[in-house]
Structure 1
Amino acid sequence: MIKYIRSGLTFLFTVITLGAWAQSTATTSSPYSQFGIGSFIDPVLPQNKAMGGIGTATNRIGQYNTINPLNPASYGAINLTTIDIGISSSILLLKQSGSSTQTNNNTRLSHVAFAVPVTKKSALSFGLLPYTELGYNYKQSISNFGTSSSADTNTVNYIYSGDGSLSKAYAGYGFGIGKHILLGGNVSYIFGNMRQYRSTEIPDLYGTLNSRIERSNAVGGLNYDYGVQLNFDVAEASHLIFGYSGSASTQLNSKITSIVSQYTVSSAGNENIAADTISNQVLNNGKIKLPLMNHFGLSYQKDNKFLIGADYSIGNWNTLTIGGVNQGLQKSQSYALGGSFTPNALALHNYFALVDYRLGVRYDKTYINVNSTDIKQYALTFGMGFPLPRNNTAFYKINFTAELAQRGTLQNSLIKENYINLHLSFTLNDLWFRRYQFD
């Protein structure tokens, strides 16, 4: 039976990975994703997201091995083959002063991660994670277009939209030195395609040729993560962990193309096939310079009972450039606090005493500043880890996480986003690649 479970999981892992590599459509509907290279997604799995996103100073959570790409040093604590696969769904409510509320929802693969121990104090990990996501669509209208009494008075609509994403395929190694130190690093390939559109339409003048400019940016290149964790035994089965991790300021290849086309709209309001392509050219074969990011963390854990921790992160997004052009962003700062509690990890007759209960809070000063206003984000997170029946070598857990968050403001004609992110993942710990000995 175990053989069939392993084969099935391996097949599912392969299918989802291939599907994720082909994924390029919009996975968000946020107008704030139009800045820079899209909305950045922290590389933490649902177990850590439920605790406010802490992860710099965590490795195992409860009895389970957990893959933690935020700090590759954590791989050194993995002693069982670990697979983690998950999906995410987002419900987003957009509100602007004087306008009605708009609701959007999206579902996507959130991660596929795999780890296998190499020695007693080291492990390899590899997987696929989302890096940024781009998706927005809004319209600005100008009435009585023209500058003289005889000028055209028809309304002109300017429509702005974008879609696409960047993904992060990584391979990492973490190892322990002595009793107290874990070190590790990731090599990642960041890739994807982002498209942004700007259309000009005159809806009340039937038969008019409308125009659209499409800018497409094909991205690919290497990035590096590194980290360290210092573990100290405070008491029996109690540990204090200090952590640091960073992401290097590397450069990705960027190919920006521009297509200018003309099209008409039918009497029913449907867009017809493009009547003409005025221009199709490569604007820039350049580089995207990524920001240096630093994470600092502290956690305290009592084995099989509870974990509490805090993280602070800073990203130098003010140095982000695309094709040599600075994107006008600012430094970001994030603060996270959270923890996990298991009532009785050894309970025999009370299933809910075996469940992990997780809670956290998060505050982000994002890298976006619009109309001289910092765009801030607040989140309350919670979740549960449900253990499944186990055998002598395998441990299974289903993790559920919910994030209730708000980004932006109604001040200065800006947009406030209220959203709910739901995450579901399956975690497997098992003894694979074990060498059997016979007397």
Structure 2
Amino acid sequence: MYKKINYITAVLVLLASISVNAQVTTQSPYSRYGIGNLRGSLLPQLRAMGGISTAVNKPTGYSVINMQNPASYAGITLTTIDVGMSAGFTTLTKDDAKDKSFNATLSHLALAFPITTHSALSFGILPYSELGYNFAQKSTISGSATNGATQNVTSLYTGEGGLTKAYMGYGYRIGDNFRIGANVEYLFGNLIENKDLQFTDNAELDAGATSTSYGTRLQNKNSVAGVAFSYGAQYDIHINSKMLVTLGYSGSSASTVNSTRTFLATKYAYDGTEDGGVTIETIDSTGTGKSNLKLPLVHNFGIVLQKYNRWMVGADVRMGKWSNLTINGVNQGLQNSRGASIGGQITPDITSINSYWSKVDYRLGFSYDKTYIKLTDNDVKQVALTFGVGLPLANSRNAFYKLNFTTEIGRRGTMVTNDLRENYVNLHLGFTINDKWFTRFKFD
């Protein structure tokens, strides 16, 4: 038993280290707004069903860490570990222009274990938002009446960073059908945004000389570190001995998280290479000291119809008051978001001996969101088709292992012809362990 624990621990540490080394910044112009692209607290097995989670407890008998609704922790009966990675292929299109990118990251590392027969504790770490973009706009400034020379100006917008969430949560079951829970969440990370203005002297270009640009960079950096809270409840309605309906609610409080803002303005010479420029002087450097980031109130509602160990279908709706988001006391000009998901899974025969594929979980889902971004009076929307499988691995008397693989095919944009459109394919891989730990066995 203890050799098994050591082996599993070594595998998890290896996976986590590989995932951290694989992380790169996301590349999405839409992450420029608010606090970046929100990741959502979803494991691969939940993403595969369109992201339904609010009313999900146990999809097929085994324990699942559903941090989106901490009330679900109360249904965890075995020590559970879940670790995973994500990778994404993104294609940006606008008019006839096209750009492709790839990114990969650690998606989650979570652990949960029962405290009593009615409660369980969970803790872990996962990305909360991602910030990463790089685009340019070119224009020409006309000369004065006495000097007719024009000058090329390139405006560069770049951003990097994001927020990470470490959480600890507790779920408790009241009676046979009602569960409640809460998470204490520590959000931390940096949101770094730059605006560069580069000026190219056309006279030098006309003379055939080497192009030299002089630029000014304005950098805003927000370092975030503070506590937020989320909570939830679930209620089961038994139809018969094998079927039930679960109703769920989860939400995040309107929390105020500490942040520190730093502003830096520099002047530099730029030679047109990818290495950037040489700083000539620092024009201004200001630290505003302690400030805050005010997160909005978020609500999630869900319903699931389930037949034990056979199939499950459900739906979620969600809404967030992102119009209230402020950073350093400045409202970010966002709109309230709303969205919906539908999905489910089926397991042909979880007890099958002769057919491995009959024990596999098959998942399918669809999600739609009106994001908190609005451009030129058009909502930025996000739609995705999701599907995946849960592949059972070798099991023992007191342990259960599963490999979960999910694919998301989606689109983000205003959906207006010739506007910027982001098409993506996201791949998620998760490894789930259910085991009965902290018990000595006479025979191993």
| Counterpart pick for 2:319 among 285, 291, 314 | 314
| Distance (Å, rounded) in 2 between the aligned partners of 1:267 and 1:289 | 40
Quick one: structure 1 residues 239 and 323, their matched pair in 2 at CA, closer, same or farther if it must change by over 3 Å?
same
Q: Please name the residue that 2:392 is paired with.
A: 387
Q: How far is the alpha carbon of 1:272 from its aligned partner?
A: 3.4
Pairing partner for 1:105 from 102, 106, 120: 102
Of residues 76, 82, 85 in structure 1, which corresponds to 2:83?
85
- Structure 2: distance between partners of 1:217 and 1:146: 37
Residues 194-203 or 306-315, more deviating: 194-203
CA distance change for structure 1 residues 145 and 160 in 2, over 3 Å: closer, same or farther?
Answer: farther
> Are 1:24 and 1:165, in contact at CA under 8 Å, matched by a contact in 2?
no
**C-alpha contact (below 8 Å) 1:65/1:79 kept by paired residues:** yes
416 and 155 in structure 1: CA distance in 2 versus 1, 3 angstrom threshold: same
CA pair 432-170 structure 1, distance change in 2 beyond 3 A: same
Aligned: 1:356 with 2:361? yes
For the residue of structure 2 that corresponds to 1:101, the secondary structure is: strand
CA distance in 2, matches of 1:330, 1:24: 33
TM-score, normalised relative to structure 1? 0.94
Structure 1: state its 5+ residue gaps. none
Q: Which moved further from structure 2: 336-345 or 429-438? A: 429-438
> Which residue of structure 2 aligns with residue 7 of structure 1?
6
Q: 2:376 maps to what in 1?
A: 371
Please say if residues 308 and 340 of structure 1, whose CA atoms lie closer than 8 Å, have aligned partners that are also in contact: yes
Is the alpha carbon distance of 1:336 and 1:142 closer, same or farther for their aligned partners in structure 2, counting shifts above 3 Å?
same
Aligned length: 435
| Contact 2:64/2:80 (<8 A) preserved | yes
Cα 1:260–1:25, aligned 2, differ >3 Å: closer, same or farther? farther
Distance 1:247 1:117 in 2: 24
Question: In structure 1, which of residues 116, 119, 123 is the aligned counterpart of residue 120 of structure 2?
Answer: 123
Separation in structure 1 between the aligned mates of residue 274 and residue 164 of structure 2, nearest angstrom: 35
In the alignment, is the contact (CA less than 8 A) between 1:145 and 1:156 conserved in 2?
A: no
Q: Does 1:397 align with 2:395?
A: no
Distance in 1 between residues matched to 2:176 and 2:442, nearest whole Å: 28
Where in structure 2 are there 5+ consecutive unaligned residues? 205-210
1:56 and 1:297 in contact (8 A); partners too: yes
Match of 1:254 among 242, 259, 268: 259
C-alpha distance in 1 between matches for 2:147 and 2:101: 42
Q: Deviations over 1:138-163 (max 9, x none)?
A: 10000354354624423110000100
Q: Amino acid of the residue matched to residue 385 of structure 2?
A: L
SS at match of 1:433: coil
- The 2-side partners of 1:245 and 1:93 are apart by 33
CA distance, structure 2, for counterparts of residue 114 and residue 366 of structure 1? 30
C-alpha distance in 2, partners of 1:361/1:24? 28
Question: In the alignment, residue 376 of structure 2 is paired with which amino acid?
Answer: N
Once the two structures are aligned, what percentage of the paired residues are identical? 42
State the alpha-carbon separation in 2 of the partners of residues 52 and 148 from structure 1. Answer: 60
Q: Give the root-mean-square deviation of aligned CA atoms.
A: 2.2
- Which structure 2 residues correspond to residues 172-183 of structure 1 after superposition, within 5 A? 172-183=169-180
Number of the residue aligned with 2:139: 142
| Residue 290 of structure 2 corresponds to residue 285 of structure 1 | yes
1:44 deviates by: 1.0
Offset at 1:375? 0.7
Determine helix, strand or coil for the equivalent of 2:2.
Answer: helix
**How many Å separate the matches in 2 of 1:145 and 1:350?**
74
SS at match of 2:277: coil
Shift in Å, 1:261: 1.3
Amino acid at match of 2:174: I
Change (3 A) 1:428 1:269: closer
Query: Is 1:430 aligned to 2:428, yes or no?
Result: no
C-alpha spacing 1:399/1:418, structure 2 compared with 1 (3 Å): same
Give the SS at the match of 1:344. coil
1:196 aligns with 193
**Residue of structure 1 aligned with 2:31, choices 17, 30, 33:** 33
Q: How much does 1:386 deviate? A: 0.2
The answer to whether the Cα contact below 8 Å between 2:24 and 2:104 also exists between their aligned partners in 1 is no
Contact 2:270–2:278, Cα closer than 8 Å, also in 1: no
Larger deviation, residues 2-11 vs 418-427: 2-11
The whole-number CA distance in structure 2 between the counterparts of 1:340 and 1:298 is: 14
Matched with 1:156 is: 153
Tell me how far 1:24 sits from its aligned partner: 12
Mean Cα deviation higher: 76-85 or 320-329: 320-329
